Amino acid sequence: MKKNLRLTSGILTLVLAITVFLYMNENKNSGDSEVPEKDTIVEVDDEPENIDFGINLDSFQVTKSKIKPNEFLANILLPHHINYVTIDALAKKSKDIFDVRKMVAGKNYTVLASKDSLKKAKYFIYQPNAIDYIVYDLRDSINIYKGEKEVETIEKSAAGIINSSLYLSLQESNASPALAVRLSEVFAWSIDFYRIQKGDWFKVIFEEKFVDGESIGIGEIKAVEFNHYDKPFYAFHFSQGEKDDYFDEKAESLRKAFLKSPLKFSRLSSRYTMRRFHPVQKRWKAHLGTDYAAPTGTPIMSTGDGIVIESKRKRANGNYVKVKHNSVYTTQYLHMSKRNAKVGQHVKQGDIIGYVGSTGLATGPHVCYRFWKNGKQVDHLRQDFPSAEPVMEDNKDEFELLMKEFKAKLDFLNLNNEIVVL
């Protein structure tokens, strides 16, 4: 009996020992999964790298500046311990990529120098514009290459009632005045922007481009509704293969045979009339042209395609250019400070053919714009020119969908006394 009791006690002791062993071992394994060994902990540096021009700027002493008038590459690099021999080699090697002699005052540049006591330049980067840059790698051997900044395009909208000029109204509302220039280009064949009146209003959807978080200008104008003299004018940007243009709500092109004015911005100072008191000759006579006052040197554009048939100076007209567009239409541009076209030259609509001046019988800087139809001078502001090619028939359905989408967006915009940009 005692023997059986001892045997049973021994078995129980063995079972208990095994149970404790398994419990301890399980807890040990469980602890390993929850608490990692110290040498497996990895510390991550959350500090982002300061990357620009594809280079980590944190590795260098950074100097940013602008090209000064009469400043050359040697003036910039010599203080950074780059000798004349290296600068000469750099200039010669750079010619096929960018001629360093064409660096322009006011443009940005960056010098990346070593952080040691010598502070020798390792990179020189020149930016001819907000997007493009040229990198001169000056480390072991000279390496020169071009790069481009990433451009972010954001769709925006603006709407408002014009209280003065469109340009000033945008400026006063802290909106980009460049938008006024773009709108004048879109409606160049439909609206005379020198005759905009108080109370005209507009709604526009457009793209604005940003580099490094800063605006670099207006991109594509997507859609516009412009109410001028209580008449609505629409414009929708639409691409047809490789060609793109602006069309109205009826799919007709906004591009007319002639621009409304030979100047982008100015002031209409005297209209076509059969009776005007001449400010120089001091007598009443016909004025068979339209005067646009603008500062001396303002570019004058040809209002249509054609061939220059006269480019000379006469006593009354001063410097002038005359362009024959076809068998029906001819235009003339008087009182230029300087002519920029020669007889026989083919010019395109928008080409600069001269600059505003006050030569000839003129009391101040302006261009007198004259317009002939079938050999007779007429008031160009009263002419109704045919449109260019409309949306192609095969693209009508696609245009209709796009037009309705953007027209709904324009209708959604609210008008305010002040221009609001969203």
Query: With 60 as the cut, is the pLDDT of residue 135 above it?
Result: yes
Higher per-residue pLDDT: 66 or 47: 66
User: Mean pLDDT of all residues in the chain?
Assistant: 83
- How large is the average pLDDT for residues 202-208? 92
pLDDT score recorded for residue 47: 53
CB 247 within 8 A of CB 399: yes
Res 68: pLDDT: 93
Q: How many residues does the chain have?
A: 422
Predicted local confidence at residue 248, as pLDDT: 95
pLDDT (average), residues 34-63: 67
Q: Report CA torsion sign: 211, 215, 218, 220.
A: positive
Question: Last residue of some domain: 148, 181, 196?
Answer: 148
Give the per-residue pLDDT at 144. 93
CATH number for the domain that contains residue 57 = 3.10.450.350
285 pLDDT band, cuts 50/70/90, is low
Q: Mean pLDDT across the stretch 297-313?
A: 94
Same-domain status, 58 and 122 = yes
266 pLDDT tier (thresholds 50, 70, 90): low
pLDDT band per the 50, 70, 90 thresholds, residue 421: low
7-45 residue pLDDT tens: 455 554 544 454 545 555 555 444 444 444 444 344 444
| 170 and 216 share one domain | yes
For the residues 378-386, what does the mean pLDDT come to? Answer: 82
Which pLDDT band holds residue 125 (cuts at 50, 70, 90)? very high
Examine the domain organization and report whether 226 and 167 are in the same domain. Answer: yes
User: Which of 121, 148, 175 is the last residue before a domain boundary?
Assistant: 148
State pLDDT tens for residues 177-193: 788 888 888 888 888 77
- What pTM does this model have? 0.66
Residues whose CB is less than 8 angstroms from the CB of residue 228 and which lie 6 or more positions away in sequence, other chains included: 191, 196, 197, 200
115 and 160 within one domain: no
Residue 279 belongs to a domain: yes
Q: Are residues 251 and 281 in the same domain?
A: no
Q: Is residue 28 part of a domain?
A: no
Q: Is residue 261 part of a domain?
A: no
Task: Record the tokens describing residue 85, joined without a space.
Answer: 């021999």
Tokens of 205: 């959807």
Q: What is the dihedral of CA 257, 263, 268, 270, to 10 degrees?
A: -80
What average pLDDT does this structure show over 74-96?
91
Q: 3 lies in a domain?
A: no
Q: Is residue 68, in this structure, part of any structural domain at all? A: yes
Would 30 be classed as within a structural domain? no
Q: How do residues 99-124 score in pLDDT, each as one tens digit?
A: 988 899 999 999 999 998 889 999 99
Write out pLDDT tens, residues 232-259: 999 999 998 778 899 999 999 988 888 8
Q: Which two three-digit tokens encode residue 320?
A: 């002038």
CA distances from residue 88 to 92, 217, 255 in whole angstroms, order as listed = 6, 36, 51
Q: Please say which residue of 148, 180, 204 terminates a domain.
A: 148
Tell me the mean pLDDT in the region 198-208: 90
- The CATH code of the domain that includes 274 is 2.70.70.10
% of the chain with per-residue pLDDT over 90 = 46
Q: Which of 12-16, 39-43, 194-198, 211-215 bottoms out in mean pLDDT, i.e. has the lowest?
A: 39-43
328 in a structural domain: yes
Tell me, yes or no, whether 392 lies in a domain.
Answer: no
Domain that holds residue 311: 267-382
Strands 51-52 and 55-56: what pairing? Answer: antiparallel
335-341 average pLDDT score: 96
Q: Is 260 helix (H, G, I), strand (E, B) or coil?
A: coil
Q: Of the ranges 27-31, 61-65, 344-348, which one carries the lowest mean pLDDT score?
A: 27-31
Specify the number of domains making up the chain. Answer: 3
Are residues 321 and 302 part of one domain? yes
CA–CA distances in Å: residue 199 to residues 32, 161, 285, 418? 77, 6, 34, 11
Residues 117 and 218 in one domain: no
- What DSSP line would sit under 42-94, residue for residue? -----PPP-EETTEEGGGSEEEEEEPPTT--HHHHHGGGT--HHHHHHHHHHH
